[in-house]
Amino acid sequence: MPVCTEIALERSFADLFSPWTVAAIIAREPTSLEEEIKEIRRSGSNRDLDSAPEFEMSDIFYFARRGVESIMDDEVTKRFSAEELESWNLLTRSNNNFHYISLRLTVLWGLGLLIRYGFLLPLRVTLAFTGVGLLVFLTCLIGLLPSGRLKNFLSEKVHLMCYRICVRALTAIITYHNSENKPKNGGICVANHTSPIDVIILASDGCYAMVGQIHGGLMGVIQRSMVKACPHIWFERSEVKDRHLVAKRLSDHVEDKTKLPILIFPEGTCINNTSVMMFKKGSFDIGATVYPVAIKYDPRFGDAFWNSSKFGMVNYLLRMMSSWAIVCSVWYLPPMSREADEDAVQFANRVKAAIARQGGLVDLLWDGGLKRGKVKDTFKEEQQKLYSKMLVGTPEDRSRS
């Protein structure tokens, strides 16, 4: 190995793991791949990139540093875990390695545990079964009525009543803002997604047509009863992948101005309420009026985020019902329409930015599907192409040389 390369390796290792460099990795000015490679070579080699456009051993430290930076300041995977609180909320022990702090705190935590599990949880479970039972029973009765104003009126009242009972089962304290912008018939309501309870948070203030995949078991019973009283849109598992069929059914629904607005969560997965991730473009390609809604939870009294990879639905609901309360704010934003020179992706990003700005959330471009999937190979190939292009050059550059 040449002496200059050994010097470059030593200096790069020292720079990479020194304390001031760790801070610089997180807070630094954005630079291009070519500029950083040049800087690395100038610090440890006499060969400049312009004079010697070929591979140098020290070049690997650009990719090593970018990898360490991504690990230390990962803005994607930390969105799929519960938000860290600055203060203890008496729900869980904040220090797993040191349980006992003081007798007073231990007694206080034990008293809170007794209240939450001995009194609040049984009461909330009773309310939840009451709300779900009434929803199934009354919607089945309403489904026997002929279509008309009476059926629509009764369906709306029953849905609101049952959803509000379910909200009480969570002791949800909800503040609604700008109610004059509430979604209207023939439109699509889109909101950021934190939890399955987002549905009842919104539906307890107005009726919506739900969109989702057909399930079995208790959820399937609820879906079949609901669709008898109201035109919800349920898809078979095989139909969900057919984008044209989904788009047509959504389009047919919004064209009928007598039908309820559709409620959709375009992120497709639950995010921990600190950010908004990429919106799928399907619901923005229909041409209907979009009513954005921003939902922001206060995790100090109970964290509403559902980490589906860690907790099942039943376990999650029990955790919600055994918390102190679910406190959240809902903002109805002014309706938005797709502009003439705007495609579906641009429209989706504009709506997402408005929701993030109102809810005080971070606007991210990443796909929420990364919660369960890996980064696409195209992202890695893009970096490889940039580096190879920097060394080899374009066909025009090679022909001139």
Q: Tell me: the pLDDT tens digits for 231-249? A: 888 877 666 666 777 778 8
The Cα angle at residue 71 between residues 65 and 381, in degrees rounded to 5: 65
Highest-scoring range by mean pLDDT, 73-77, 298-302, 320-324: 320-324
pLDDT band at 296 (very low <50, low <70, confident <90, very high): very high
Give me the pLDDT at residue 190, please.
93
- In the predicted model, is pLDDT for residue 23 greater than 60? no
d(CA 15, CA 34) in angstroms, rounded, equals 19
Q: By mean pLDDT, which of 20-34, 144-158, 163-177 is the weakest?
A: 20-34
d(CA 73, CA 352) in angstroms, rounded, equals 23
Alpha-carbon Rg for the chain, nearest whole angstrom, is 27
pLDDT band at 251 (very low <50, low <70, confident <90, very high): confident
What stretch of H or E contains 41? helix 33-44
d(CA 72, CA 64) in angstroms, rounded, equals 12
Mean pLDDT, residues 260-288: 86
Q: Tell me: the pLDDT tens digits for 41-77? A: 666 555 555 555 566 666 666 666 666 666 555 666 6
Q: By mean pLDDT, which of 66-70, 112-116, 144-148, 183-187 is the weakest?
A: 66-70
What stretch of H or E contains 297? strand 290-298
pLDDT band at 11 (very low <50, low <70, confident <90, very high): very low
- In the predicted model, is pLDDT for residue 14 greater than 50? no
Task: Please tell me the pTM assigned to this model.
Answer: 0.73
Give me the pLDDT at residue 73, please.
59
Mean pLDDT, residues 98-126: 81
pLDDT band at 36 (very low <50, low <70, confident <90, very high): low
Average pLDDT of the residues of the chain: 77
Q: By mean pLDDT, which of 59-63, 141-145, 357-361 is the weakest?
A: 59-63
Instruction: Write out the two tokens for 129.
Output: 């079964």
Instruction: Write out the two tokens for 196.
Output: 């399955």
- In the predicted model, is pLDDT for residue 5 greater than 50? no
The Cα angle at residue 385 between residues 381 and 390, in degrees rounded to 5: 155
pLDDT band at 351 (very low <50, low <70, confident <90, very high): very high
| Residue indicated by tokens 């700005």 | 357
Q: Is the pLDDT higher at 177 or at 76?
A: 177
Mean pLDDT, residues 144-168: 90
Mean pLDDT, residues 325-342: 91
Taking a C-beta distance cutoff of 8 angstroms, is the pair 321, 121 a contact? Answer: yes
The per-residue b/e assignment along 268-299, b for 16 or more CB within 10 angstroms, e otherwise, is bbbbbbbbbbbbbebbbbbebbbbbbbbbbeb
- In the predicted model, is pLDDT for residue 330 greater than 90? yes
Contacts of 189 (CB under 8 A, 6+ apart): 183, 202, 208, 261, 262, 263, 264, 290, 291, 293
Highest-scoring range by mean pLDDT, 32-36, 43-47, 188-192: 188-192
Q: Is the pLDDT higher at 252 or at 124?
A: 124
Mean pLDDT, residues 359-365: 87
d(CA 254, CA 287) in angstroms, rounded, equals 9
Give me the pLDDT at residue 370, please.
64
Give me the pLDDT at residue 83, please.
64
Query: Is residue 18 classed exposed, middle or buried when 0-12, 13-18 and 19+ CB atoms within 10 A define those classes?
Result: exposed
Give me the pLDDT at residue 235, please.
79
Mean pLDDT, residues 157-171: 91
Contacts of 182 (CB under 8 A, 6+ apart): 205, 206, 291, 332
For a pLDDT cut of 90, what percent of the chain falls above it?
20
Give me the pLDDT at residue 165, please.
93
